[in-house]
Chain A
């Protein structure tokens, strides 16, 4: 039976992913209703289950794509890849109100610049306090605290060593995962319940995966507003980190 099933699952990898994700969500909503009376959102549990499975996948295979590195489950990589993610994010905009976006557009865009500069500054201070003195290494690690894409882009542009680039990716991944898990827990405390604060949230956090997951588990109605600003963040980070911010770090250290 298993011998017959495995090749079928492999050949129809995307369909396998639909079935698997459906089962993860079913179990998560059951857990949410059974043990928390729905107070801890089913989608938040599903995202955490996804992250746990990703850890298992990485530990078992030593690969980079979590669960998707297990051959039978390669379809998870397609379903959870940038193509479907971006497609579904755009679809969430269908219910969004243009007036709300116009109202908060300026402060939303300002929050992107503040968010990039802030995360970079925190990353730089942490790198220095851990004993790094080379401006290229400090800038690369700091860029990783912006997002896990800005880190390697900056490190490659400045010629950082591969272990420093790996660290920057690690910092960005920690950020993205913490935003996914933490957002629904702190949403009330930070006033994340309207379109304006969602746009600011997207601009400050910036990690598209983190914002996408965090807001989905908080209130799906907020997703288009947060995603709108978050999708500009990585671009702005890739622009500023290897240029202005690097020059600033080098100036401060000399």
Chain B
């Protein structure tokens, strides 16, 4: 049933945000610390264990795939509701600070990527894990 997939996704997000807010409270800030990241990890763990024990049947995963495919449209809507006007009217300090932060952070991506071993291309490591998956 498609709704099982949608419900699984919802439960992961709700649990993740709750945990994220609890972490925020412990840190003493009114913010959700990594709640979405925790929800993603939950979903990944569930999807992987259920491959071994229970099977998420194809109709159930359609409920997840639909929202995966809605991601770009949602991002477009998100772009359309940004306060672009304020960003441009914010004055030179805001423009220079924001722009420099982005440019220098971009430049640092390849520098840090060199740390901790050579980057394996995700496509290559995906095929490796798929192969070990079928071997089991």
Which positions in A face B, CB cutoff 8 Å?
A: 17-18, 21-22, 24-25, 43, 46-55, 57-59, 64-68, 76-77, 79-81, 84-101, 103-104, 106-107, 110-111, 114-115, 118-119, 122-123, 126-127, 130, 141-142, 144-146, 149, 153, 166-180, 182, 186, 190-198, 200-201, 204-205, 208-209, 212-213, 216, 220-225, 227-229, 231-232, 234-236, 238-239
- Name the one of A54, A58, A101, A232 contacting B33, with C-beta atoms under 8 angstroms: A232
Using CB atoms, name the residue of chain B closest to A84.
B74
Give chain B's interface residue range (CB within 8 Å of chain A). Answer: 35 or more
Provide a sorted-by-A list of 12 A–B residue pairs whose CB atoms are within 8 angstroms.
A17-B77, A21-B80, A84-B77, A85-B75, A90-B39, A91-B68, A94-B64, A114-B112, A118-B108, A173-B84, A174-B87, A228-B37
The answer to whether A235 touches B82, judged by C-beta atoms less than 8 angstroms apart, is no
Q: Which residues of A contact B12 (CB under 8 A)?
A: 90
Which positions in B face A, CB cutoff 8 Å?
A: 9-10, 12-13, 16-17, 20, 23-24, 27-37, 39-41, 43-45, 47-48, 61, 64-65, 67-68, 70-102, 104-110, 112-113, 115-117, 119-122, 125-126, 129
Closest approach, in angstroms, between the C-beta of A28 and any C-beta of chain B? 8
The answer to whether B97 touches A91, judged by C-beta atoms less than 8 angstroms apart, is no
Q: Which residues of B contact A24 (CB under 8 A)?
A: 76, 80
The complex places the Cα of A119 from the Cα of B104 at a distance, in Å, of 8
The complex places the Cα of A169 from the Cα of B85 at a distance, in Å, of 12
The answer to whether B81 touches A196, judged by C-beta atoms less than 8 angstroms apart, is no
Q: Which residues of A contact B121 (CB under 8 A)?
A: 193-194
- Name the one of B40, B104, B109 contacting A122, with C-beta atoms under 8 angstroms: B104
The complex places the Cα of A216 from the Cα of B115 at a distance, in Å, of 25
The complex places the Cα of A253 from the Cα of B99 at a distance, in Å, of 24
Q: Which residues of B contact A68 (CB under 8 A)?
A: 80-81
| Chain B contact surface mostly | helix
The answer to whether B71 touches A223, judged by C-beta atoms less than 8 angstroms apart, is yes
Closest approach, in angstroms, between the C-beta of B79 and any C-beta of chain A? 3
Using CB atoms, name the residue of chain B closest to A221.
B122
- Name the one of A111, A130, A196, A208 contacting B92, with C-beta atoms under 8 angstroms: A130
- Name the one of A80, A169, A195 contacting B122, with C-beta atoms under 8 angstroms: A195
Q: Which residues of B contact A212 (CB under 8 A)?
A: 71, 75, 78
Given contacts A100-B125, A107-B115, contact A178 B102 (CB under 8 A): yes
Given contacts A91-B64, A177-B82, A204-B109, contact A216 B101 (CB under 8 A): no
Given contacts A122-B100, A227-B36, contact A89 B71 (CB under 8 A): yes
The complex places the Cα of A205 from the Cα of B39 at a distance, in Å, of 20
Of B28, B72, B91, chain A has the most CB atoms within 10 Å of the CB of: B72
Closest approach, in angstroms, between the C-beta of A109 and any C-beta of chain B? 10
The complex places the Cα of A245 from the Cα of B73 at a distance, in Å, of 37
Q: Which residues of B contact A146 (CB under 8 A)?
A: 101
Question: 15 more A-B contacts (CB under 8 A) besides A86-B35, A169-B86?
Answer: A66-B83, A97-B129, A166-B90, A172-B98, A173-B86, A173-B94, A174-B87, A179-B102, A182-B106, A194-B120, A197-B109, A198-B122, A200-B113, A223-B71, A239-B29
